[in-house]
Structure formats: C-alpha cells, structure tokens
Amino acid sequence: MAGPIQNILVYVDGSEESITAAEYGVCLAKSTGASLSALYVVNTRALNDLVKSRIFIASEEQEYQQDLENDADKYLNHVKDLAHKKGQTIEVFQKNGAIHTEIKHTIEELDADLLIIGELSKLQSRRDEFYNEVERAMRSVPCSVLIAKDEDLVWSLYESLA
C-alpha cells in the first residue's frame, strides 16, 4: 500500500524559514519516496494593489515585478540545488498572482497531498492574523499542511542525508 504522502509541495518565498521548509521537504521526500515540487509566487496582486492605491507609479510596478521575478529564479534555483545535492528530483514552479490563491491552485493542479511552509512570524496583533497571506493559504488548501520549525534541527537532518 502506498504511504500517506505521495506528492509534496513546498512554498518558497525567499525567507530563511521557507528555505528551511525546502530542506525539510527534501528530507521527507527522500524518506517517503514522495515526489517533490516547489512554488514561488510573484505577488502581482500586491503590486497591482499598490498601483491602484497610488503608492506605486507604473514604472515602480514594472521594476519591482522584475526584482521579484529575479528573486523567484534565484530562490527556486537554490532549492533545486538543495534537492539535487541529495539526489532528490524536484520540479519548480513560478506563478504570478495572489499568494494564497496560487498556492491553492498549484496544489489542485499537482494533486499534492502535503503542503510544507516555513515557520510563520509571531502574531503581534489581531491584524497580523488577518493579513498574513501564507496563513490564509494554510487555511484554504484542501491538503494537509506541515510547518517546518527549528532551523538547526532541520539543517542537521538535511545534512545527514546520504
């Protein structure tokens, strides 16, 4: 019988926490035989909102979108390297849109059965809970969600992989 985890998606946003999530994803994929994918979302929804609210001018929107696309390449390549160093295959995806929506869509497209995210920042007010995009994704995705914590422990698990 196949195990409970067949298809893992890791959400990567360039934060240290999300890189820890990617390392944990590699460990879990290696130990379960599950397939592994990583997603970076270029938050064009936020960019559009900043233009609509007149905080950004059009040239800033283009400049920042380019910056975010460069970040996507950089971090997805880093995650690919992390997987390949341990002999784990990985598929990476860059999508544009709203973070929580794109995470949900990608899970549905890939039929992923586990989403791994990095540790969420500490809530300091009720507003934080309301505004956190990854937390929204965590609540709305149809699959189980794993939050990778303890950067040092995860790193040593990753390092100990053959």
Partner 1 sequence: MSILELVTEDCIKVPLESKRKNDLIREMVAVLEGAGKINDSEAIYQAIRTREDQGSTGLGEGIAIPHAKVEGVSELTMAIGISPDGIDFESLDGQDAKVFFMILAPPDKAGQHIQALSEVAKITRSAAFMRALLHSQNPAEVLELFQE
Interface contacts to partner 1, rule CB under 8 A: 13-14, 43, 46-47, 49-50, 53-57, 59, 64, 67-68, 71, 121-128, 131
| Minimum distance of partner 1 from residue 112's CB (angstroms) | 23
CB nearer to partner 1: give 27 or 39.
Answer: 39
Cβ closest to partner 1, residue 46 vs residue 161 = 46
CB of 88 to partner 1, least distance (A): 26
Among the listed residues 35, 30, 23, the one whose alpha carbon sits nearest the alpha carbon of residue 118:
23
Residue nearer to partner 1 on the CB measure, 7 or 48: 48
| 120: nearest Cα among 111, 131, 110, 106 | 131
Contact partners, residue 22, CB within 8 Å, separation at least 6: 10, 12, 38, 79, 82, 83, 116
Minimum distance from CB of 100 to partner 1 (Å)? 13
CA dist., res. 149 & res. 110, Å (int): 25
